[in-house]
Amino acid sequence: MKPTDSELEILQVLWQEGPCTVRQINERLAENREVGYTTTLKLMQIMYEKGLLTRLEEARSHVYEANVSEEETQSTLLERFVDTAFRGSASKLVMHALGNHKSTPAELDEIRKLLDQIEQQP
Amino acid sequence: MKPTDSELEILQVLWQEGPCTVRQINERLAENREVGYTTTLKLMQIMYEKGLLTRLEEARSHVYEANVSEEETQSTLLERFVDTAFRGSASKLVMHALGNHKSTPAELDEIRKLLDQIEQQP
DNA sequence: TCTCATCTACGAAATATTTCGTACAAAAAA
DNA sequence: TTTTTTGTACGAAATATTTCGTAGATGAGA
């Protein structure tokens, strides 16, 4: 399941904040760009129909929760992205990403450790 | 300039093959999925108007060429992708990419060298 | 010359995505 | 109780993207 750009924006808020009402999401989105309440509502209803979100209808204002994990979504999107933008070459993508040196030394160390792990497997 | 998915598909062919006619592109695209000739033509005309492609009109069938480099396009797309899918964390993306995809030992070595380079800069 | 195949241009349909207005229910405030 | 606020549902407009049909030009071959 590939979320659209707007859907991903909503998922990001839910992954960071946990369960939210439409109003809460809308307020977070509105920090960055202008967006009407019913726009956000409609999007979340669609996402609910698609199974991207679950919701509790007990209170008058429903509480929504992400029904896909951040990790799994990132993997899905990444796979597609590697294919379409980097012709399937994950290492090329990695080089590019590291090339824009925005990573801290600690992060670089973590990557190095991961490399060690991978190379030590037979 | 962010190319759409279809536009990126066409750019990929041009980056691999060099200058092409619409027919050549269409044949390459048709290897993977069904797509009409005029569909490809129209897309390439739009890309020309946007400045994504240049073209030689000397022959009856125009010869198109990419007007944006693969590298620069990858950087643009990557930056956006890191932000939307990985909240701006390039290192998280790298970890995912290395974890999910199989890279050859040679590629992993290259990455390691790049890490060395980055860390040795003051 | 007279088809026939192939090309461009371009309008418009088809599809996908995003945005919003309106109707109506229910809680909260006056 | 009456009014105001806040919520859902949902149709449909607005926008973006993709697809295709048709018209007309041009060159190749009969």
Same domain, yes or no: A94 and A62: no
Q: What is the CATH number of the domain that holds A45?
A: 1.10.10.10
Shortest CA gap B90–chain A (Å): 6
B96 in a structural domain: yes
Tens of pLDDT, residue by residue over B90-99, are 999 999 999 8
Domain count, chain A: 2
Tens of pLDDT, residue by residue over A66-79, are 999 999 999 999 99
Tens of pLDDT, residue by residue over B1-37, are 899 999 999 999 999 999 999 999 999 999 999 999 9
Nearest nucleotide by C1' from A4 CA? C17
Within 7 Å: CB of B6 and strand C?
no
A83 in a structural domain: no
A27 in a structural domain: yes
Segments forming the whole domain that contains residue A113: 89-122
Same domain, yes or no: B10 and B59: yes
Distant-in-sequence, close-in-space partners of B102: CB < 8 Å, separation ≥ 6: A90
A75 in a structural domain: no
B81 in a structural domain: no
Assembly ipTM: 0.90
Residues 83-102 of A with CB under 7 A from strand D: none
Same domain, yes or no: B56 and B101: no
A76 in a structural domain: no
Q: Which two tokens stand for residue B29?
A: 């695209």
Helices and strands of chain B, counted as H and E runs: 6, 3
